[in-house]
Structure 1
Amino acid sequence: MRLRDETFDPANLGAYNLYLLASPARLHLAVADVERRKFVVLEDYQLPGGGVPALAAQHDFLGLRGWNAVRLAVTGRAFTLLPSPLFRAGDEAAALRLHHTPTPTEVVRHTTHPGLELVNVFAADAALAEWLTATYGATGRLLHHTSALLAGLVHQRGAAAPRRLYLNPGPQELTLVVLGQHLEYCNVFPCTTAEDVVYYTILVMQELALDPDQDDVTVWGELMPDSAVFSLLRTYVRNVHFGPRPGNVEYSYRLNDVFEYRYFDLFSLHFA
């Protein structure tokens, strides 16, 4: 999928932010006009052998320098969230090792969340991290996709929002977040079936004393309204609905045919 507004000018990259969301097999790409606060490009690719760097070598603007800012989020379960006062720079690998042992082909990074007083420590493919730095220099920033998701949720909810469960199914994964006055839960589970999604949703609701008959559940992500996932969720959760795109930004008319609940974490990189 390639959707581009006619106003997008690749010859003037300094006017735009580039947002990338990379999973092992897919790359989601968005471009936002900084001054107009408007998304003008949305693209979705199956990654070739060689991953994002190989795709960039074939793409007309992905590998170009000169962007105002570049944010690349990686998916995966190799992350942990720590309260900011407990985090010390240099301790990333030790903190992550409680949940994930980094491989020789991974690097460990961290991202701060001032609004939530949290630090996200995560592992990423070393070759991808090196490509990001070599291609974009100091303009490029590497994040975990949960950082983008949390930034979008905090931006959209407002200060007085009720305690709620949020779901974001992705390729072979399910991210679940419970937000009230503070972040209560954030985890990524492996999911290959609709039954997996329902199982982990009900499990988390039970663990956090949420009622499937009373409490609202908001869903974003890679699924269709008539999908087996959503149909099965509605069987077990009474108040489940799709969430909207992040607010306070505009979207090109080219995106009108894209379901609003899709690409929420990609668009949320604008606030991360």
Structure 2
Amino acid sequence: MLSSVAPASLAPAALHRLRDETLDPEQLAAYNLYITAGPASLRLGVADARRNKFLALEEYAAPEAGLSYAQQLAALAAEHDLLGRSGWHRVRLAVHNRAFTLLPAALFRPGDETAYLSLHHALNPGRESVHAYAHSGLDIVSLFAADRDLTDWFGHTYPAGRLVHGTTPLLQGVVQQSEASGASRIYLSIGPGQLTVLVMQGKQPRLCNVYPFSTPEDLIYYVILVMQELQLDPDQDPVVIWGDLMHDSELFTILRKYIRHLRFGNRPFDLGYSYRLNDLFEYRYFELFALHLCE
């Protein structure tokens, strides 16, 4: 458990605070709260549950050295008019890390989560807890570790909330946009120092993994490596990108150099978005928006 609540002075710096004027803080039961905690930043989204429309998006800088996301969230909640309050229709938190695996649902046995995950991740029981999420309609279970202080804060603040791994909304959002054909497609989600690669065969995942990178050369190495292992062709097979990069960035430049059919992705379909979000690039915040598709 957190030894103490972080003071409001530790609240993170706001990078974006966009809110539709129709959002009523006194009617939280009408809204869903979505939170993502990853290498890029802390992000909050609020969606109207009945209209399936996002009305707010806020982004805060990642924790400074020595601070955790649990401390950051506690500090932000101490001075925020929405975060930390009860009464929401639904609350979801996605954690972004490399400590996860996907397992066919038929092989999953409740109670064995730690044993499954230990094949892929050296768990620290004192600092991490293990969680599972069943992907509806995919017959897949996501198993992942999360910082214990963060999950303790979340469980205490939102007892009915749902914790998922960052690959879960990515997968759910891609499935929504995938075609039923048998062709393979590659999807990339790029954050600071972290690349998520998802390869779909129609509406079924062939590969989902998170890779660390520090240079553009690292990034393209992992992308080409995955394509070679799955016998995909950089000159023929399309690649879709979401995440934290610009059209004139070194990352996009090196991707465009080696991959012929490259495009930025869209927001999740069948959802509404406030006009206040119009100035944001369509390919950013995909996982935050796609949390609306997670049960």
Q: TM-score range by the shorter chain?
A: over 0.9
- The whole-number CA distance in structure 2 between the counterparts of 1:239 and 1:191 is 22
TM-score (norm 2): 0.89
- The whole-number CA distance in structure 1 between the counterparts of 2:167 and 2:246 is 22
Paired residue type of 2:215: T
Deviates more, 1:154-163 or 1:229-238: 154-163
- The whole-number CA distance in structure 2 between the counterparts of 1:6 and 1:36 is 15
Q: 1:198-237 residue pairs with structure 2 within 5 A? A: 198-237=220-259
Choose the corresponding residue for 2:45, options 5, 8, 30.
30
Distance 1:44 1:161, change over 3 A: farther
Q: CA deviation at 1:268?
A: 0.5
Paired residue type of 1:56: A
Choose the corresponding residue for 1:263, options 243, 267, 285.
285
Paired residue type of 2:241: V
Question: Is 1:106 the counterpart of 2:128 in the alignment?
Answer: yes
Distance 1:56 1:162, change over 3 A: farther
Q: Name the structure 1 match of 2:26.
A: 11
- The whole-number CA distance in structure 1 between the counterparts of 2:255 and 2:39 is 26
Q: 1:1-272 residue pairs with structure 2 within 5 A? A: 1-23=16-38, 26-48=41-63, 49=67, 50-103=71-124, 104-138=126-160, 140-160=161-181, 162-181=183-202, 182-272=204-294
Asked whether the equivalents of residues 53 and 128 of structure 1 are also in contact (C-alpha less than 8 Å), the reply is no
- The whole-number CA distance in structure 2 between the counterparts of 1:26 and 1:59 is 17
Q: CA deviation at 1:60?
A: 2.0
Distance 1:24 1:234, change over 3 A: closer
* Alignment RMSD: 1.2
- The whole-number CA distance in structure 1 between the counterparts of 2:244 and 2:157 is 29
- The whole-number CA distance in structure 1 between the counterparts of 2:20 and 2:279 is 13
Asked whether the equivalents of residues 213 and 238 of structure 1 are also in contact (C-alpha less than 8 Å), the reply is yes
Q: What secondary structure is seen at the aligned counterpart in 2 of 1:246? A: coil
- The whole-number CA distance in structure 2 between the counterparts of 1:56 and 1:173 is 27
Deviates more, 1:113-122 or 1:232-241: 113-122
For 1:182-241, what per-residue CA distance to the aligned partner results, in whole angstroms no more than 9, with x for missing partners?
A: 210000000122111111000000000110001100000111111110111000000011
Deviates more, 1:124-133 or 1:212-221: 124-133
Paired residue type of 2:76: L
Whose helix fraction is larger, Structure 1's or Structure 2's? 1
Q: CA deviation at 1:25?
A: 6.3
Asked whether the equivalents of residues 47 and 55 of structure 1 are also in contact (C-alpha less than 8 Å), the reply is no
Asked whether the equivalents of residues 23 and 76 of structure 1 are also in contact (C-alpha less than 8 Å), the reply is yes
Q: CA deviation at 1:162?
A: 3.4
Q: What secondary structure is seen at the aligned counterpart in 1 of 2:269? A: coil
Q: Name the structure 1 match of 2:6.
A: none
- The whole-number CA distance in structure 2 between the counterparts of 1:169 and 1:51 is 23
Paired residue type of 2:60: Y
Deviates more, 1:56-65 or 1:241-250: 56-65
- The whole-number CA distance in structure 1 between the counterparts of 2:265 and 2:196 is 14
% of aligned pairs identical? Answer: 56
- The whole-number CA distance in structure 1 between the counterparts of 2:152 and 2:39 is 16
The number of residues matched between the two structures is 271
TM-score (norm 1): 0.96
Asked whether the equivalents of residues 39 and 191 of structure 2 are also in contact (C-alpha less than 8 Å), the reply is no
Q: CA deviation at 1:24?
A: 5.1
Paired residue type of 1:86: L
